[in-house]
Structure formats: C-alpha cells, structure tokens
Amino acid sequence: MPPDQLQALESKMKQMVDDLRSELLAQINRSRPADAPKATANSDEETGAAELEKPAQETTIANMQEELNEMVEVVFEESVWDSSTFVFMSGIGIDQSLLTLFCFLCNTFIQMLTCIVLGYYLVENPLSSDKIEGLERWRTSEGHSFRTTDPLNLHSLVSRVCGQDYGLSIATSQRDLYEDMDMYTTKFMGAAAGGWLCVVAMAIFAMYIAVEMRKTVNYILAICTIPRGPMTLVKRTDAGSLRLCAITPVRLGWCGVIAIIRVTVAAALLIPGSLWLCYTMKMETLMLNASALGFVLDIDETIFALASPLRIAGLLRTLDPIPLRRTKLVSCAPAICIICLIAFVGIMSAGRIESLKNDMEKAMDTICGKTNWLDFQFAVDPLGGIMYSNTIPFPSTSLSNEIQAHHTVVRDLIMAQTYETAKQTVSAAYPRTHNEVKLWATFDQAQYVEYASACQDETNKHIGSWLFGITNEASYNEASFATCKQVASLTPSLCEDSSKIGLNVRWMCPVTCGCASPKGGLLYFATADLGCPMKECQTKNDWKRMRSETDQLVDSTYEELKVDEGFLRLVRILRRGQLGNNSLAKLLGTPATMVNKTSVDNFESLGCAGIQQLMDRGVGGLDVQIICQTGKSGYSGGGGAAMMCPKACCHSTTEHQWMGCPLYRRALTNQNPGPSPNPATSVNTTLDGR
C-alpha cells in the first residue's frame, strides 16, 4: 500500500478512537449525579477506565447472587441407597440389578439389626435401683468383712475400693465402677465433666442423623422434579456427562420406598443410640461410641465400595446433579436442622443425663459415702453377735514395721526369680512344699506352732534374718544374731517376750528358750498359743525322764535352782509381771492377781523352801498358785515351779489341782479329774476350763 494511503488510514482510525472516547465520556457524565465533577478528555485514563468498568462489575455480582440463590442441586453419591435408584433400568442388566438389590437388602438388614440389638440389649440403666441395692448388700457383707481385709496392710476392702487400689484381686468391678463415677461427676464449668462430654458426643451423633435425614429429603425432592415418562431416560450432554431426563411413575414410587426405609433406619437408630450414649459412664468411651454409631450410618457406602456393579458405579460417577427447586423448605432446611438438633440434645440432657448423674451420686454414696466409716472390719461370733475393730485407712503413709517387713520379704522373693535361688538368698522366709503352704496357711497360730516344729533349735536359718523379716528392725539382721545361743546370750529377754517376736523366738529356739524342758520356767508362755510346740516337746525322752523324777516328790535344792536357767527365767517373768496373753490377770480382769513382790522375793531367795514357807504360813495362796501352775487344762506341765518343787507344790491336800503334779497327771490319764476343787481355790477351775 502506498505511504499516502497508509497515512490516510491512520488518520481515519485516530479520528474514530477520539469519537469513541468522546461518546464514552458523555455516557459517564450522564450517569453521574448533577453535583459530581464532569469527566473530560484530559482526565486520567485509569480513572476513566475504572469509572467505565464499575457499572459492569456491579451488574455481574448482582447477577451472580441471583444465580447462586437458584443454584441448588442434588448429587448422586456412591452408596447403596442412591445406586438402588437405577435397578432394572434398561441398559444396566439383570445380573447387575440383582446384585445391587442384594446389596440394598443386606445394608437394610445390617442397619436394622444393629438398631434392634442396640435397643433391646445395650440400652440399660447401669445404675438402676436393684443394682444400687446390690452395691449396698456388697458393702454390708463383703466390703467390711474380716475375711476380705488385707492381711498384710490391714486395709478394709471398702477402703481399698474407695482409694482405687490397683493391687486388688477381688472387687475390681466395684473399684472400676467407683473410679468411672468419680471421674464422670467431677465438676467442670459448674456441671459434671462427664455430662458435658456426653452432650458433645450426643450432638455429634445427632449431626450424623440430621445429615442423613437431609440427604434423604433432598433426594426425594430432586427425584420429584424429574419429568415423568413411559421409560427412565438418561441422555448424554455436550460436555460428555449423563443427565437423568425422565423417570417412570413406578421408579418414582420405588425411590419413595428407598427414602422411607432410609429415614426409618435413621430414626430407629436415633433414640436407642442416644440412650446408649446417655448410659455410658466411661468418659473415654463416649466419643468412641458416638463414632461407632456414625459408622453404622456409613455401612451403605462400605457395602457399595465392596460389591458395587461396574455399570451402576460408572453411571453414578458421570451423572449430572439434579437441579432442586428453590422452595421455603429447601431454604430453611439448615435452620430447621440446627433448631431440632439443639432441642433434642437439650431434652436428652435435662432428662437422661441429669438422671444418670443423680444415680451416680447415690451409688457413690452407697459404696464410699464421705460421711460413712470406711476403716473397720466385722465378724460374726459363734453366738451370732457382731464384733468389729478398726482398720488402717488406705492409702496409708505409715505402715507398721511388721507390714513393711512382709513387703520387703515378698519383694526379695520376687527378685529371686526361682525357688532354688530363693532358698539360698532369702533367709527371712521358709521354703515349703505346695501342700504344706496350702495346709498350714489355714492353721491358727497354735496349730501351726505344733505341726511346723520338731521341738529342736533351728540350725539352718539365720535367726536374726527371720526376725528382720517379721519386724523390719535392721538391728536383728546382724551376723551376731545367727544362732539360738547367740540370740539368748545377747537378748535373753526375747525368750520371755509376750510380743510376736518372742513367740517366733520360742518357736525357732524351743530348747534354748526352755520349751523343751518341764523345768523351763516359761510359766504361761509354755503353750502353743505363745510359741512353744508342747505336744512335740513332751514326746522327747528328756522330757519323760525329768517328769518321772518329779513323781518322787523331791524338791530341787536352792544350790541347784540358783544356777538353773529355768528357775532364773521363771523369776524374771514373775518379777516383770509378764504372764502373756493367757495371763491370770487378764482372765480375772483385775491387776490384783499379779504376784506379790514379797512372794517373788521369797521364791527367788529361798527356792522351793520359799513356796513351802508361804504354804505353811497360810499366806500368798494365790501367788503360790501362779508360781506353781504350769499351763492350761490337759497339759502336764513345763512352765511353772511344780516340776522344780514337786514336794512344795504338790502336797497331799491339794495335789489334784496342780496341773504339773503326779496325781493330776494320773487323773488325766484315767479320764478322772479327781474330787471337786475347794471353793477357796475356785480360781483354778477358771484356769482349767479355758
């Protein structure tokens, strides 16, 4: 093109642009208010462009708002419910339709079965009145029984349950129940923490149900918008997707059946599921239960993913959403769901959750009432009366030495790992056979002393270690306390001690302590109740020989007595007034029965002559009884002075009353206790009848 023509064309185009700009500026000025500044050709180009684009933008946003309000669509989901819409449709195939229908029936059966089982078997008040009565019966029968009291720590079973002791081997269900209730009723923001969590769990579950209901309603409303036709018609769009264009009246009815079943399942799960959450007392399982209930509603998707036919699955993936008519119901559906959700959770909270909290407080008061006495045990005596005693509160910050010692020994056994190792390393416990442990654990103290001893000093055990295992006193666990001789030499008073220490020393060292001799001088300590295995000791030849010597009624001389350990031991016991648990003072209930100091002085300084002197003078009769007496009824002596001084103690007029005297022993052998005792000395009858 020639240059002059190009220049003319350029001028013409420039003129056209100027004319267009002038026209646009005129339109802008007309659209502005009268008092607004007018736009001119010299105005900033960016300002003009913004003014030019502003009406177009406002118009576009307004149009989009209208379109968004009208754009409500229902999308077909990959689930058994939605896939069942297209069963027996042309092009699907009989086999795939039957498989889809089978999945639909399986899903319906599983969900309804879950609802029935949940409603009939799992929805139950865990703290009904009969169960609270059962807790009360447990408290009054087993909770405080002496049979269930911890034998080592002396804690009552109720105290351990309320203290949430994880060392329990019984009553663990009561402990776990109390722990759950205590955690549930803990105050949080003015209410029970478990109640708050239950409200949250129930709200989550109710949301699952609300979503299921809303999907079902939208599904049936969307299906109703599809035109009716003689056949169900699906067409392919220009974009390549599929669109449901027509539906038969029969299929519309089938869709209604699907919607009714789906709503029924959701409603059937709502009530029992909510009650199940309300009756769940374990806080850690509340959220799990809510999630499990939601999983029940998702079974249809699981079954579809497992066994969905390929054609129906492909149809659902490519099918366009169905436009939903904008009605008031559709517009208000979110608000309606929220209001119903809040109302339902509020009703359940005010009714069931509050009722369960009250039942928990009542059950907790039944088990571990704060105003109740927890630390005692009781037993029924042979006459049917109730006797009781204090126990140690749990948890106890200060355990007795004996209890600490038992724990120490058991821990040593645990660390030993094997029986053979324990025999070598744990000296504070005796190795026994299974049958021995099973049998002897049921014996009382006297039975065990008699059957578990051969009336000879222990030589295989470290005596001090054994005492340490009983008392937890480190002073006993020394090398100098290894044998019975060392124990008697260092602390001779242990053989005459009335505590459990003395009992064990006499049991382990019966020869050293005097149990094995009829002249042992142990007084009332010479019984199985207090550690001496007398039945076994009386079978020994030395015992029989010494006893036969007393039949001659010859008193020991004072020279013999003052170097005899039995005589010295008897004097020490009388001097200290120790008569043990079977003392005459305890039997008669008065301190006046203790031996008079003058009588003990006479016996210590004169020996048998001192007893004879008291008898001849007619004074100190009760003191003579205590000094000469040798044990309880049926026992032939070994504790008092009757074996040392048979002539002084066993004179002809009262010989039958002294349990160490020859005539008394012969009377026992002949099953004839002899003539009735003198009323003046009737205290002997009390002793003999123990």
Task: Give the model's pLDDT for residue 57.
Answer: 47
Mean pLDDT of the region 458-484: 78
Identify the band that residue 380 occupies on the pLDDT scale cut at 50, 70 and 90.
Answer: confident
Question: For a pLDDT cut of 70, what percent of the chain falls above it?
Answer: 78
CA angle 105/77/248 to nearest 5° reads 70
Terminal CA-to-CA distance of the chain, rounded, Å? 149
Whole-number CA gyration radius for the chain: 50
Burial grade of 679 (CB within 10 A; 0-12, 13-18, 19 or more): exposed
Which helix or strand (DSSP H or E) is residue 244 part of? strand 242-246
CA-based angle 520:521:523, to the nearest 5?
120
Cross-strand partners of 235: 243
Residue 566 vs residue 582, higher pLDDT? 566
The pLDDT of residue 38: 58
The per-residue pLDDT for 265 is: 93
- The mean per-residue pLDDT over the stretch 485-491 comes to 84
User: In this predicted structure, what is the pLDDT of residue 1?
Assistant: 58
CB 315 within 8 A of CB 122: no
The C-alpha atoms of residue 434 and residue 422 are separated, in whole angstroms, by 15
Other C-beta atoms within 10 Å of 604: how many? 18
Contact 472, 407 (CB under 8 A): no
Q: What pLDDT score was predicted for residue 652?
A: 44
Average pLDDT over residues 340-345: 86
Q: Following DSSP, what letter does each residue of 397-448 receive, concatenated?
A: SS--HHHHHHHHHHHHHHHH-SHHHHHHH-TTS----HHHHHHHTTS-HHHH
CA distances to 88, 218, 331, 470 from 76, rounded to whole Å, are 18, 11, 20, 79
Residue 115: per-residue pLDDT: 92
Copy the structure tokens of residue 434: 């299974």
- Dihedral sign for Cα atoms in the order 119, 122, 124, 130: positive
CA–CA gap between residue 282 and residue 199 (Å, rounded): 14
Q: CA 88, 94, 98, 99: dihedral to nearest 10 degrees? A: -110
pLDDT digits (tens, 9 = 90+) for 80-135: 999 999 998 888 889 999 999 999 999 999 999 999 999 888 888 888 889 999 99
CA distance 335 to 242: 33
668-674 contacts: CB < 8 A, separation 24 or more? 668/634, 668/636
Tabulate helix, strand, coil % of the chain (nearest 5). 65, 5, 30
Higher pLDDT, 653 or 481: 481
Q: Which residues pair with 74 in a beta bridge?
A: 322
Average pLDDT, the chain: 78
Residue 628's pLDDT is 78
**What is the structure's pLDDT at 688?**
30
Instruction: Give Cα separations from 306 to 95, 292, 412 (angstroms).
Output: 16, 20, 58
Average pLDDT over residues 137-151: 89
pLDDT for residue 656 is more than 50 = no
Is residue 222 over pLDDT 80? yes
Q: Write the DSSP assignment of 8-40 as a string of letters.
A: HHHHHHHHHHHHHHHHHHHHHHHHS-TTSPPP-
Report which of residues 39 and 389 the model is more confident about.
389
Amino acid at 37: P
State yes or no: pLDDT of 502 exceeds 80. yes
* pLDDT for res 592: 38
Is the peptide bond prior to 395 cis by the omega test (within 30 degrees of 0)? yes
- Range with the lowest mean pLDDT among 190-199, 360-369, 632-641? 632-641
- In this predicted structure, the answer to whether residue 587 has a pLDDT above a threshold of 50 is no
Q: Inform me whether the pLDDT recorded for 593 exceeds 70.
A: no
Q: What sign for the dihedral angle of Cα 545, 546, 551, 554?
A: positive
Q: In angstroms, what CA-CA distances link 150 with 96, 174, 211, 568? A: 69, 16, 55, 41
**H or E element that contains 586:** helix 584-588
Average pLDDT over residues 487-506: 84
Contacts of range 620-624, beta carbons closer than 8 Å, 24 or more positions apart? 620/596, 621/680, 621/681, 622/593, 622/683, 623/595, 623/596, 623/599, 624/599, 624/649
Residue 215 reports pLDDT greater than 70: yes
Say how far apart CA 603 and CA 613 lie, in whole Å. Answer: 9
Query: Is 70 a residue whose pLDDT tops 60?
Result: no
Q: How far, in Å, CA of 246 to CA of 240, rounded?
A: 18
Closest CA to 451 of 462, 441, 460: 441
How many Cβ atoms sit within 10 Å of the Cβ of residue 115? 21
Q: What is the pLDDT of residue 111?
A: 93
Query: What are the structural domain ranges in the chain?
Result: 3-70, 80-126+191-354, 515-690
Model pLDDT, residue 16: 75
**Mean pLDDT for the stretch of residues 195-204:** 89
DSSP assigned state of 143 = I
Least confident of 200-204, 300-304, 536-540, 675-679: 675-679
Beta strands in 66-185 (DSSP E): 73-74
Task: Answer with the residue of higher pLDDT: 194 or 325.
Answer: 194
Residue 667 scores a pLDDT above 90: no
**pLDDT at position 657:** 47
pLDDT at position 375: 87
Sorting pLDDT into bands at 50, 70 and 90, what band is 500?
confident
Confidence at residue 47, expressed as pLDDT on a 0 to 100 scale: 52
Q: How far apart are alpha carbons 607 and 227 in whole angstroms?
A: 129
Q: Label residue 635 by pLDDT band (50, 70, 90).
A: very low
Model confidence pLDDT, tens digit, residues 514-539:
888 888 888 778 888 888 888 888 88
Both tokens of residue 54? 């502003």
Give the pLDDT score at 28: 66
How would residue 299 be classed by pLDDT, with cut points 50, 70 and 90? very high
